Chains A and B, each alone.
Chain A
């Protein structure tokens, strides 16, 4: 037996195909890869039959046509079928001019394929890192904008049903050691935690295709996020990082709501008004706390007797929000009562308040509309320190704003310019509306427009009772608005001297 020739012994796979694609010659390396004897291959199979399924298809639909047209192929990645699986090879082929036979050379490509696989894995990893980062960024952004518990929970649910890929998600929060459903989002039944409390541990747990992620706060677990129908399966590191942030945000939101609750209670107590009982007047008032922010505002109103037969009404607005503004408001409210004095009049009262705010800097720049009504005569003396003008709603005749008695906000005294006040004779049934700027100011319109809208709104609800009127006007003015600022409106009506009888207009 002679030694094999160079072609047969070449360290790569070599074949010759006839024009129909049938293998007519094959070398040892190719037979070794294919794991078949020459008798099984030569004149028996078409080249495509030696390839993996994908390779066969690639060959029949793409490579063989190209070979026919272009005459050759170079370094195409395909796989051979072998008894031990698939053998990756690089294929080059050329058509023999004249005969139409095809010479094929296959070069082993395990290393190249491994390299490509590593390359692909590295690319996937990089993409994964980018995805992970963008998920965390989205969650962080959502949480950073949330101030209250409700908003934090909404942000967590948005992340859960968005980037974290859950079909359904629920946040359960710890109330006196027990988990209660706070909110859920998505289709299907609300996923519940597997235990009524989560003393078990901080690691995310999964069971039955669900994920349970404790949201760890500074002390214990303020909540747990339960995900269901998660696709694709989330990265546990991402889940843990989201949980960490969400837990802290929940903690923070709770503390914030607690202090805000205290402030609201304080504000509520300070706003308690007990108007003196007298048949010659009536008041109605509406107070709406801004809901966008949890902090309390500095608006207030008050109704009190300045002296026998003289009623004081005031609506004011302290600069700023929160406990500082609320306490300044409380002090200023008391101060208004203290500085008003029978016979002194509104301008004098404002002058005294200027001196008062020198001692209470947080009350500086507060605005006040202050009026005193002589219950016997209907004379209304009033002054506005930097405050929007009162609106007069006569028993008959058109509404108009009271532009008299205007001066600067409290504490902003101009040297040599005294506080001024003015007066007005009310007729029985006339009404005067005092309000804070939250009622008329909007980001998207000027103050003039707001005041015109207020006059129109007051006209629309004419004929209602006093309390109804302030409620209705406020409702009209705030329609479709997210009330970010506090709003305060007070309506005073002089009924006229009772002995004149029958003059007083109804409600």
Chain B
């Protein structure tokens, strides 16, 4: 087997200042590193900034994709650990959105020495309701979800090459970026959906060995308020901030608020 270059496999981008604590942004399900385009640049003056694509998303190399290996979130966490090791950076602040908040937690558990702090944006360790826990989806809904993922094949395919439309209110966005935004491999996206929405990592939270900031949105269909409180409660060392932002993607819908909270947190050390 050829040795894999994790930086290439995960289309890792490193920008920003050579000084300061490195900040690593990891996108969640359904998108790619373009998800951070309004957030990551805000830290480039003061920190090394790293963004990357999970295998199957954006510019990642899917040639090594193995369905069996990627049938658990641990594989994505292992990829992340490999990226951190290959980047040669000192211990980082790991910012994970949605399922990648969980992936970040697994990476921190596996290699605490490379993760200085964890930031979980709209985390949800278990999307399915379970005996007193309200994760956002009823068990009956998950089957419907997976069925839809299978049936919606043409929808996903159409999205691989979306019609290019300008973004009139943000003319600074180059067409190149627009074109590649949220590009996903439909087959891998389906597998990723399955592992994302069927995994249960609630029990892992208690083992996260690093200080963690939990950012919860006000009205998030995929991560109800109680989930943020639950995550905060389970983590050994955490702080919970409820954002005014609504929806599941504050990095796009309310980047200014997210940047402000992150900046204050980083400045506190």
Return the CB mask of B203-218 against A: 1 if under 8 Å, else 0: 0000000000000000
Q: Which of A53, A66, A116 contacts B141 (CB 8 A)?
A: A53
A52 touches B (CB below 8 Å): yes
CB nearest neighbor in A for B98: A61
Residues of A within 8 Å of B247, CB to CB, are 20-21, 46, 60, 64
Taking a contact as CB atoms under 8 Å apart, the answer to whether B30 and A54 are in contact is no
Instruction: With both chains docked as a complex, state the minimum distance between the C-beta of A73 and any C-beta of chain B, in angstroms.
Output: 8
Instruction: With both chains docked as a complex, state the minimum distance between the C-beta of A65 and any C-beta of chain B, in angstroms.
Output: 5
Query: 8 Å CB contacts to A: which residues of B169-196?
Result: 169-170, 173, 178, 181-182, 184, 193
A397 touches B (CB below 8 Å): no
Binding-face segment, A76-84, A214-222, A357-365, A460-468? A76-84
Q: Which of A52, A60, A66, A70 contacts B144 (CB 8 A)?
A: A52
Instruction: With both chains docked as a complex, state the minimum distance between the C-beta of B16 and any C-beta of chain A, in angstroms.
Output: 22
A interface, over-half SS: helix
Residues of A within 8 Å of B169, CB to CB, are 71, 95, 97
A69 to B34, CA, bound (A): 10
A49 to B246, CA, bound (A): 14
B261 touches A (CB below 8 Å): no
Binding-face segment, B1-9, B82-90, B109-117, B146-154? B146-154
Taking a contact as CB atoms under 8 Å apart, the answer to whether B182 and A62 are in contact is yes
B221 touches A (CB below 8 Å): yes
Query: 8 Å CB contacts to A: which residues of B195-251?
Result: 197, 219-222, 246-249
Q: Which of A54, A58, A69, A78 contacts B181 (CB 8 A)?
A: A69
Taking a contact as CB atoms under 8 Å apart, the answer to whether A54 and B165 are in contact is no
Residues of B within 8 Å of A97, CB to CB, are 168-169
Taking a contact as CB atoms under 8 Å apart, the answer to whether A75 and B249 are in contact is no
A71 to B137, CA, bound (A): 29
A352 touches B (CB below 8 Å): no
A57 to B197, CA, bound (A): 10
A321 touches B (CB below 8 Å): no
Q: Which of B148, B163, B249 contacts A54 (CB 8 A)?
A: B148
B158 touches A (CB below 8 Å): yes
A55 touches B (CB below 8 Å): yes
Taking a contact as CB atoms under 8 Å apart, the answer to whether A77 and B253 are in contact is no
Taking a contact as CB atoms under 8 Å apart, the answer to whether A65 and B158 are in contact is no
Residues of B within 8 Å of A95, CB to CB, are 169
Q: Which of A53, A61, A72 has the most CB of B within 10 A?
A: A61
A49 to B224, CA, bound (A): 13
CB nearest neighbor in A for B138: A53
Query: 8 Å CB contacts to B: which residues of A84-100?
Result: 95, 97
CB nearest neighbor in A for B127: A57
Interface residues on B, range: 35 or more
Return the CB mask of B132-160 against A: 1 if under 8 Å, else 0: 00000100011011011100111100110
Interface residues on A, range: 20 to 34
Taking a contact as CB atoms under 8 Å apart, the answer to whether B144 and A61 are in contact is no
B28 touches A (CB below 8 Å): yes
Also in contact, A62 and B163, with CB within 8 A (given A53-B145, A54-B152, A116-B154): no
B42 touches A (CB below 8 Å): no
Also in contact, A53 and B158, with CB within 8 A (given A62-B182, A69-B167): no
Instruction: With both chains docked as a complex, state the minimum distance between the C-beta of B159 and any C-beta of chain A, in angstroms.
Output: 7
Taking a contact as CB atoms under 8 Å apart, the answer to whether A65 and B147 are in contact is no
Taking a contact as CB atoms under 8 Å apart, the answer to whether B31 and A21 are in contact is no
Also in contact, A68 and B178, with CB within 8 A (given A46-B221, A53-B144): no
A425 touches B (CB below 8 Å): no
Instruction: With both chains docked as a complex, state the minimum distance between the C-beta of A92 and any C-beta of chain B, in angstroms.
Output: 10
CB nearest neighbor in A for B245: A20
Residues of A within 8 Å of B262, CB to CB, are none
Residues of B within 8 Å of A79, CB to CB, are 148
A125 touches B (CB below 8 Å): no
A57 to B142, CA, bound (A): 11
Taking a contact as CB atoms under 8 Å apart, the answer to whether A72 and B148 are in contact is no
B18 touches A (CB below 8 Å): no
Taking a contact as CB atoms under 8 Å apart, the answer to whether A71 and B168 are in contact is yes
Taking a contact as CB atoms under 8 Å apart, the answer to whether B159 and A52 are in contact is no
Taking a contact as CB atoms under 8 Å apart, the answer to whether B219 and A65 are in contact is no
Residues of A within 8 Å of B137, CB to CB, are 53
Taking a contact as CB atoms under 8 Å apart, the answer to whether B148 and A60 are in contact is no
Residues of B within 8 Å of A77, CB to CB, are 152, 154-155, 158
B73 touches A (CB below 8 Å): no
A389 touches B (CB below 8 Å): no
Q: Which of A54, A62, A68, A76 has the most CB of B within 10 A?
A: A54
A48 touches B (CB below 8 Å): yes
Taking a contact as CB atoms under 8 Å apart, the answer to whether B221 and A60 are in contact is yes
Taking a contact as CB atoms under 8 Å apart, the answer to whether A65 and B152 are in contact is no
A323 to B29, CA, bound (A): 73
B256 touches A (CB below 8 Å): no
Instruction: With both chains docked as a complex, state the minimum distance between the C-beta of A64 and any C-beta of chain B, in angstroms.
Output: 6
Residues of B within 8 Å of A48, CB to CB, are 221
B166 touches A (CB below 8 Å): yes
CB nearest neighbor in A for B153: A120
Q: List 22 A-B contacts (CB under 8 A).
A: A46-B221, A53-B137, A54-B149, A54-B152, A57-B145, A58-B155, A60-B249, A61-B249, A62-B31, A62-B182, A64-B247, A64-B248, A64-B249, A65-B182, A68-B249, A68-B253, A69-B170, A71-B166, A76-B158, A97-B168, A116-B154, A120-B153
Given A58-B30, A69-B252, 6 more A-B residue pairs with CB atoms under 8 Å apart are A20-B246, A21-B247, A46-B219, A54-B148, A69-B167, A69-B178
B: residues with CB less than 8 A from A are: 28-31, 34-35, 37, 98, 137, 141-142, 144-145, 147-149, 152-155, 158-159, 162-163, 165-170, 173, 178, 181-182, 184, 193, 197, 219-222, 246-249, 252-253
A: residues with CB less than 8 A from B are: 19-21, 46, 48-49, 52-58, 60-62, 64-66, 68-72, 74-79, 95, 97, 116, 120
Across the A-B interface, give the 3 residue pairs with the lowest CB-CB distance, nearest first.
Answer: A54-B148, A61-B30, A77-B155
